[in-house]
A and B are shown apart, each in its own frame.
Chain A
Amino acid sequence: MSFSVEPLNAETVVIRVGKALDFRNAAEFKAICQEQVQTGVRNFILDFSETGILDSTGLGAIFSLYRQVSPRNGQVVFASVSRPVQVVVQLTRTYKVFRQFPTVEAAQEALQQT
């Protein structure tokens, strides 16, 4: 399993993205998120601390998640963004949509306040 899911409360989970999110495991990522959405989760904290590869298919999977949760006022936020992930986020200007936090805890705190 490339991803681990850690529930914080009924509406929020942390997903540890692991070493890579790319065309090889993007379908698995989508399925895992889908399961969470179906149980009522709408806030996702994606932990990128160990992530060395994020390709366009992987990013597309994150976008799908965003489009699913945003009509429910849900959020997708990034935590501990590694340098390779930062490059992709800069290039696609997606930092305009996904808030970034230095740690999972900081992301959690910010989500609790909204």
Chain B
Amino acid sequence: MARYSILVVEDEHTLRRLLEYRLSKYYRVRSAANGEEALQLVLEEIPDLIISDIMMPKMDGFALQQALQSRKETRAIPFIFLTAKADEHSRMRGMRMGVDDYITKPFDIDQLLARIERLLERTKYFQTQLDARIGQDFSKKLMPKQLPSVPGYRLYFHNSPKEYGGGDFFDWTQHPSGSFFITIGDVMGKGLQAKFYAFSFLSYIRGTLYAMLQTAQSPAELLRRVNHVLMQDTVMEETFASLLILRWDPTTHEITYANAGHCRPILVKDRQTAEVVEYSDLILGLDSNATFQDATITIPAGGGLLLYTDGLMEQRTASGEMIGEQGLCELAPKMVGAEDPVQTLLQGILSRCNTDTFDDDILFFWMERLS
């Protein structure tokens, strides 16, 4: 984790060196001898916090604070005044200008350290809250509002993103022929950035899918085109994603799929048996010459198909091992005919773990063919 950076602005040489020395044990410290020098340093790299004297040659602390307040990119930097001017007038003036704290000399260095820590903590808290709000908003937009209603089938979807979750997404669309296209994927990375890329990526997929369905219906061809975009477009240069696309025909119960390195689906044959849907190709974004193949499976009456992202499979059991494909093959058949298949699976997994919560984002889709 990168350390916080602090800018010390103090004209008195000895005090400046002392602050540099003590603070550098915990923070990255830069220093300036007056407001003018400080402004220059702030423009080179915005610090996480500023500690500044008031009385200085060239540009004093008040003028520095004012200059920072006038620019939107520097306005929110936490600011502590450090001064010999203990009078109430200066203190009030500082407070009115939006100074966050005020310490008079001589001061206790441990007290200063405590105040710095508190201010940084508060700033980080606000940032985290904001990130979480934006993240939740993205999460909602990456999931469908509803599922299709298909005679002879029952469909369930479950998604519980973590606060700092990643780039899981799920989507479906119906072709005029009556078949459905189902997309599940995971953009690599964590946090807001992954969410943002997942959102852009899902837009690419939707765009490509809608354009392509006019002429072709091959999931493998779709993967090839999406991979091409990822390899060519510099905006998406750092994006790597696993993606599984299925074409499902509810009248023949056939599913044609292509898999670019995504978690392999579990095909449930009946209430006792399930197997991993094996065929899969390279993850997207790595190789412009990657090839993808279509494969076909049939959902038997009284069986089903489980699609999911890695958070589900990587959940650690009490023994420290991941649930894994094997674990899911054992648990998924219990979903058949269950009153609440989502809870059946979640409870089944958690009963094997030491905890009652999941470590990561959980996303899965369950389609069951009625017998």
Contact = CB atoms under 8 A, between A and B. Distances in A.
Interface of A: 23, 55-57, 59-60, 63-64, 66-67, 87, 91-94, 96-97
A93 B186 contact: no
B221 interface: no
Contact of B188 (A57, A66, A67, A93): A57
B246 to A, nearest CB: 18
A7 B191 CA distance: 33
Interface residues of B, number: 26
Scoring A57, A63, A64, A91 by chain B CB atoms within 10 A of each residue's CB, the highest score goes to A91
B285 interface: yes
A23 B190 contact: yes
Contacts of B189: 23, 56-57, 60
Scoring A56, A63, A64, A66 by chain B CB atoms within 10 A of each residue's CB, the highest score goes to A56
B280 interface: yes
Interface string B243-275: 000000000000000000101100000000000
A91 to B, nearest CB: 7
B287 interface: yes
B80 interface: no
Contact of B240 (A23, A63, A87, A96): A63
Given A67-B237, A94-B261, A56 B188 contact: yes
Nearest to B188: A60
A63 B188 contact: yes
Contacts of B314: 55
B190 A93 contact: no
Contacts of B242: 56, 92
A57 B186 CA distance: 11
A93 B281 CA distance: 6
Contacts of A94: 261, 282-283, 286
B310 interface: yes
B166 interface: yes
Nearest to A84: B322
Given A56-B166, A57-B188, A91-B263, A64 B238 contact: yes
B120 to A, nearest CB: 20
Interface in B325-371: none
B190 A92 contact: no
Q: Which 8 A-B pairs have the closest CB atoms?
A: A60-B188, A92-B261, A23-B190, A56-B188, A92-B283, A63-B240, A93-B282, A93-B261
15 contacts: A56-B188, A56-B189, A57-B188, A57-B194, A59-B240, A60-B188, A60-B238, A63-B283, A63-B285, A91-B280, A92-B261, A92-B283, A94-B261, A94-B283, A97-B287
A96 B189 CA distance: 21
A67 B238 CA distance: 9
Contacts of B281: 93
Contacts of A93: 261, 280-283
Contacts of B188: 56-57, 59-60, 63
A97 B240 contact: no
A41 to B, nearest CB: 20
Nearest to B325: A91
A8 to B, nearest CB: 25
A29 to B, nearest CB: 13
A91 B261 contact: yes
Contacts of A66: 286
Given A57-B194, A67-B237, 10 more contacts: A56-B186, A56-B310, A57-B189, A60-B188, A63-B283, A64-B238, A92-B242, A93-B261, A93-B281, A97-B282
